[in-house]
Every structure is written in structure tokens, then in C-alpha cells.
Homo-oligomer: A and B are copies of this chain.
């Protein structure tokens, strides 16, 4: 079994109001060293062993998980046991 972790972030220049809200809140709490915040999504897939896992995961991102107009992503694959 493989664990596939997909990191999805808004593309450069896309507005991220949640990130802006977090930055404002952290600054208000006294964390003035925080100068920018971006938020994104994590998707962990637990996948049966498959010869062509990278291509299959690319298809999953294109068809369902990622909006290519707004978002960039990268993928890590590691060995795992089922959660």
C-alpha cells in the first residue's frame, strides 16, 4: 500500500482571503513577524500497489482534485500501512 500526499496551493496571484484573515489574526495576537500567509489543501490517498501510480494520480488531480485555473499541486508517494 502506498500513501500519496497531494499538496494543493492557490497559484501565485490568486486571492486567498482565508490566508489574509489568518495573517491579520496572527498579527493581532502579537505575532508581528508573520508577513504573509497562504492556505491550501492536503489530500492523502491510500492506494493499492499499482505499476503506474504517478500517471494515475495525475489523472485523479486533473479530473477531480485540483482546479488547474486556480491551483498548483505537487505529489509525494511513500510506503504506508492502511490507516
Contact = CB atoms under 8 A, between A and B. Distances in A.
Interface of A: 1, 7-9, 12, 19, 22, 25-26, 29, 31, 33-48, 50, 56, 59-60, 63-65, 82-83
B7 A42 contact: yes
A37 B44 contact: yes
A-B residue pairs, 7 tightest by C-beta: A40-B42, A36-B46, A33-B48, A38-B44, A33-B47, A33-B50, A35-B46
How many chain copies? Answer: 2
A83 B47 CA distance: 34
A16 to B, nearest CB: 10
B41 A41 contact: yes
Contacts of A50: 33
